[in-house]
Amino acid sequence: MRAIPEYVDTSEYLVNTPQVIDINEFTLNLRSTLSIMGLFDDTAGGATLVHESHFNTKTVLGVYMKRRRAEQTKDQKLQPEACLLGAYPPHSRSLTLPISDNTTPLNLGEKLNLKLQNEQLQAHEAPTFITYNIKRTYVLEWKMSLEVGGEIFKVKGKHPVLIMEKAEPDSDR
């Protein structure tokens, strides 16, 4: 991730002042959705209805809290699944987003040692698939609390991901 300023909408004073964007909090989740479509008889009207049901599951893949923020919330308990991957307890150094078109983006996965491995997805054993009436999909969701110029704001995003079935070792070799 990196921040790219909108200089067109920025005052001259801010354009010439170097800015630092600190990451206060970051959470990465994998959300799975199982959708089932079925035909149901409407007993009152005598018609057949198509109904789709959705079942969602969320797995916390990583959590980062800036040390100051983590110390403020140390009395609050994190859910056990929040400690699966990611940076908890918090890192001693804070993370900042690079600000420029020309800088290398911050690789949060590398910084927080996030690794998506099959053993950690036991709740999501099924890979992404679609059949006639059943569909399993996954979305990677992230939320961040950022601080710039003394102001704190939150951003979030999501992106569909494809979960592949675990490859079996080749028995012929």
- Which range marks the domain in which residue 80 is found? 7-38+57-161
Nearest residue to 17 (alpha-carbon basis) of 5, 27, 25: 5
For the whole model, what pTM was predicted?
0.69
* 168 in any annotated domain: no
* 2 in any annotated domain: no
pLDDT tens by residue, 76-98: 544 433 333 444 444 556 788 87
- Give the count of domains, the chain: 1
Residue labelled with tokens 């908890």: 88
**In degrees rounded to 5, what are phi and psi of residue 24?**
-85, -40
pLDDT tens by residue, 11-37: 887 777 777 889 999 998 989 999 988
**So what's the pLDDT on residue 78?**
46
* 90 in any annotated domain: yes
**So what's the pLDDT on residue 120?**
56
